[in-house]
Amino acid sequence: MPSRDDCDLYHCISFPDGEANDGIHWDLRGCFERYIGGINVAGKTALDVGTASGFLAFTAEQNGRCVSPR
């Protein structure tokens, strides 16, 4: 498993242990609903294709969506 310092994340992400990585391009924390266009997806299943770090899949799950990362 690589260390966090060896990973180049293109966006900011907060880890469960409280640490954060300040990505160099995007900070989507706190703007998930705006990022997905304000579409009401309550009760829907989200498919995150090419999930990369899993940030959007994890955020969708935290917001009550059923997520199937692929």
2: its two tokens? 């690589």
Give the Å distances, CA to CA, from 17 to 13, 33, 64: 12, 24, 21
Q: Residue 39 — very low, low, confident or very high, per pLDDT cuts 50/70/90?
A: confident
- Residue spans of the domains in the chain: they are 4-67
Q: Which residue has the tokens 């242990």?
A: 17
pLDDT in tens, 18-28: 887 776 677 77
Q: Write out the E strands in 2-64.
A: 13-14, 20-21, 45-46
**pLDDT, greater one: 68 or 35:** 35
Mean local confidence (pLDDT), 42-63: 77
Give the largest Cα separation in the chain, rounded. Answer: 37
pTM score above 0.75: no
pLDDT surpasses 60 at 69:
no
